Amino acid sequence: MARQVARQMTGFSAVIIENRPGAGSRIAVEATVRAKPDGLTGLVTPDFSLTLLPHLYRKLAYDPLKDLAPVAMCATSETALAVGPSVPAEIRTVKAFLQWAQTTPGQAMFASPSPGSTPHFTGVMLAQSAKAQLTHVAYKGGAQALQDLMGGQVPASFNPVGELLPQLASGKLRVLATSGSKRSPFMPDVPTFVDAGYRDVVVESWIGMFAPSGTPDAALDAMARSASDALRSKAVAEGFAKFGLSVAAPVTRQRMAAIVREDLARWSSVVKSSGFSIEE
């Protein structure tokens, strides 16, 4: 996704993408925080590294509110609940799945691409909203989770919509609901959790661009203008769509900072009530 944007950014002689994977995006965030705040280094990251991880680690090498400066909101996406062949074919709603899972020994569980991720806690949020007991089964990546889902090893999985799209043609999966405030443009026939009666389950993930704290406003404004130009490109919109991502509605840097604060606060109670943490 970052490459899609970089190819369309204006005002820079070159934009180099350096992948820094690992540790749930923390390596990339930490590298950005340590970088010189000269307007030449930016970060493209999913929201959970800034809004969920601070609640999961007792020691985190960055403060998302103090160590990073918002630049631009790039993309948004939803999480979807899908069930596989181990779930009876007649089960087509979230309510029916939960009733079946609670009364079928060994089936009250759901997979997610990784522990501490947005899909993980979307599942937790649903369980809390429905007052249901569901066991989380963490995987190392969405591909492995979906492989076991389609193989019947787990009954259900929460994944980003983009991870599920390539698998729908197999006919082995049924998507029961998506987590947005409105239906996903990539799955318009699938109800939201709100449609299904779970009003508290609204999770709209985002991917944002940030810079090290202390970067001059003029440099931040230049980065934001360049990113904004790129995000208006038809090529970027089409590229995002291949991954199940929508171009984010433009917001000011101030509003973006507020979104980080709001999401950080919102996830606090969900994580705390789940009792989940990551020890390192």
Q: What integer pLDDT is reported at residue 276 of this predicted model?
A: 85
Angle among Cα 92, 98, 101 to the nearest 5 degrees reads: 105
Q: Is the pLDDT of residue 11 over 80?
A: no
- What 3-state class would DSSP assign to 29? helix
Q: What integer pLDDT is reported at residue 218 of this predicted model?
A: 95
Q: Given pLDDT bands bounded at 50, 70 and 90, which one contains residue 144?
A: very high
How large is the average pLDDT for residues 262-269? 95
Per-residue pLDDT reduced to its tens digit, 32-62? 999 999 999 999 999 999 999 999 988 899 9
Q: What integer pLDDT is reported at residue 228 of this predicted model?
A: 94
Q: Where are the alpha helices (DSSP H) in the chain?
A: 2-8, 26-34, 48-51, 53-56, 94-103, 118-130, 142-151, 161-164, 217-231, 234-241, 253-274
Domains and CATH numbers, the chain: 2-76+205-274 (3.40.190.150), 77-178 (3.40.190.10)
Q: Could you tell me which residue, 171 or 228, shows the higher pLDDT? A: 228
How large is the average pLDDT for residues 15-43? 88
Residue 248 gets which letter from DSSP?
Answer: P
Q: What integer pLDDT is reported at residue 168 of this predicted model?
A: 87
Q: Is the distance from CB of 150 to CB of 166 less than 8 angstroms?
A: no
Q: Given pLDDT bands bounded at 50, 70 and 90, which one contains residue 279?
A: low
Give residues with Cβ within 8 angstroms of 57, minimum separation 6.
277, 278, 280
